[in-house]
A and B are shown apart, each in its own frame.
Chain A
Amino acid sequence: MPQNMFEKIWEAHEVSAGLIYIDLHLVHEVTSPQAFDGLRLAGRPVRRADKTLATADHNVPTDGTMAARLIADELSRVQVETLERNCEEFGIPLYSLGSDRQGIVHVIGPELGVTQPGMTIVCGDSHTSTHGAFGALAFGIGTSEVEHVLATQCLVQKKPKTMRITYSGELGAGVTPKDLILATIGRLGTGGMVGHAVEYAGPAIEQLAMPGRMTICNMTIEGGGRAGMIAPDEATFEWVRGRAAAPADFEAAVERWRRLPSDPGATFDTEVEVDAGAISPMVTWGTNPGMVVEVTDRVPDPAAMDSPADRESAERALAYMGLEAGTPMTEVAPERVFIGSCTNSRIEDLREAAEVIDGRKVAGSVRAMVVPGSQQVKATAEAEGLDDVFRSAGFEWREAGCSMCLGMNPDILMEGERCASTSNRNFEGRQGKGGRTHLVSPKMAAAAAIEGHFVDIRDWS
């Protein structure tokens, strides 16, 4: 019987009914301290430190602080130092502040090559779905589950349903994977993928390089999906080849990986079709990622919405965002621009933004920052001179971390500030209390920084 990719990976990892073996457990400072405490209380060891990898990302300042003990914020310092102590005690490899491999957990996994096709990967972070871009089954878990995986290398899981979203056609000029996934969430809603492992397929996906695939899988959780996946192909294999953790017998591994894609005739619980050619550059206007329109559209009018619940949510969102229904999105003017986060902070994202800048300057009304996803991304960018491009344009060039995606470190929005952000969540207060987030692609963020308002990147020359 034909199987889809999710079913193949699930079946290969079923220790017993509902108990799944985990090939890689990524750990960071925010969701792990209580899990390590639990192990200590019960006198349990970590079962497989050799399948566990930790880094510090959520809390770390991006101002050049290069050791945990130097973090000015006491609570953040304690949390990163606690991670360092826990990893030391339990023998878990850690790339903490100061390591040249430190970075956002979902950036460093693929960068080191520990993210590989066919694997099961978990992390106490909802954006773990990123790793599914390699044809892995990857999803976020809570702290109790972090403790469970540390103790048993397994996870008790209800088998999710499967969904395939097939994209026909190809993305137009200036339209990026970020726009593709925002448009998809806009159509399906933030709960549209709940309970499903989602496979993204079709010609528009196959044409994408790995970073774009990661951006798409990363935001699966914003549609409520349990996991996002893309079939591995030559682009996947070439990404992994030569990386620090690439398999010693690479060709044998590729042979195994070639058997992963969904079989012809495989079925899914839900099928969705999207015309990628019809997707435009997108900008969110509200307080969840499903509240999104094309950049050429206007801020929606709640009065025109059918359901009372939608109307009420939209009214509240517009009040929070300080927007008037009917305003063209291109007249919306952010004072802050953030290029970074596990969604869009890889070297390719920075190159795209730099290309848009091309010698221009950040508008006087805007404060803009670029935060590379990892120390490796930062080093590569600097070797290519991208830091100069950004700095000369007036962007701040910072150290690796989650930064202003979630406001757990000093990079935050002030009350009422409006931000064009390449991150993944525009929830109320996400980037700082009262902060107003508009999610966009790196190109759109760079263009907004220069013009001082959103622009249709397709008109950029």
Chain B
Amino acid sequence: MRPIDVIEGKVSVLDRHDVDTDQIIPKQFLKRVERTGFGEFLFYDWIRDGEIELEPNPILVTGRNFGSGSSREHAPWALEDFGFQAIVAPSFADIFYSNCTKIGLLPAILDEEHCRLVAEAGEARIDVDDETVTCAAGVFKFAVEPDVKHRLLNGLDDIAITLENGAAIDHFEAGPSAPPGPVTTAL
């Protein structure tokens, strides 16, 4: 994952609430076994049917509960491949939020009024380290968990970080709190 620090540029707007991941990337595109190339299928039905138009700007501003439904990481892959580097919304679905942070696509939460102002401004500058979105209408704070911020700023691989903690995992597995659990290979 590439480090992200400042995201700056034009803003695309999708003025809808509760946009689910079935809309972001419809099911027929989940059959691919590759991780790349999903951008051309982003919002496939909505764009093809002329319901919405989206420019591949660095920033997307949208409505509350964005990314609800299916856990498909293909949704953030498609958004990122299309050209977005940050999504600004009043709230996100949990799994979608987490998936974005794993691939370096910044989900930034601002309240509805601030989202509206950023959308109207048409351009913005997002500083990950300062946790601010700056646009013509003002400077708005968002929050990001410290460990997530650290990974985003440094482009770190989550797995490598956890594997550095390998001794703690070994210790846990050998310890009394590790539940015996079912053994799938013995079924």
Binding site for B on A (CB under 8 A): 12-13, 15-16, 18-19, 21, 23-24, 30-31, 33-34, 37-38, 42, 44, 47, 49-53, 58-59, 73, 75-76, 78-79, 82, 91-93, 112-114, 116, 118-119, 124-126, 139-145, 147-148, 151-154, 156, 158, 160, 190-191, 194-195, 221-222, 224, 226, 244-245, 247, 253, 256, 288, 290, 309, 313, 406-408, 425, 427-430, 433
Contact = CB atoms under 8 A, between A and B. Distances in A.
A112 B99 CA distance: 30
Given A79-B33, A190-B65, A429-B23, 5 more contacts: A78-B33, A125-B70, A145-B99, A145-B102, A408-B30
Given A119-B181, A194-B91, A21 B172 contact: yes
B64 A408 contact: no
Contacts of B168: 15-16, 19
Interface of B: 16-18, 20, 22-23, 26-28, 30-35, 45, 63-65, 68-74, 76, 91, 93-95, 98-99, 102-103, 145, 147, 158-159, 161-163, 165-166, 168-169, 172-173, 177-187
A42 B159 contact: yes
14 contacts: A19-B165, A30-B72, A38-B159, A50-B185, A147-B159, A190-B68, A245-B183, A247-B182, A288-B20, A425-B69, A425-B70, A429-B22, A429-B27, A430-B27
A89 to B, nearest CB: 14
B134 to A, nearest CB: 26
A139 B99 CA distance: 14
B166 to A, nearest CB: 8
Nearest to A101: B187
A84 B129 CA distance: 43
A78 B30 CA distance: 12
Contact of A194 (B22, B94, B173): B94
B73 A76 contact: no
Contacts of B34: 34
A244 to B, nearest CB: 5
A114 B91 CA distance: 35
Contact of A156 (B45, B162, B173): B162
Contacts of A112: 187
B179 A118 contact: yes
Contacts of A116: 181-182
A119 B184 CA distance: 14
A447 B166 CA distance: 55
Q: Which of A33, A114, A126 has the most CB of B within 10 A?
A: A126
B31 A191 contact: no
Given A144-B103, A191-B64, A24 B182 contact: yes
A23 B179 contact: yes
Contacts of B98: 141-142, 145
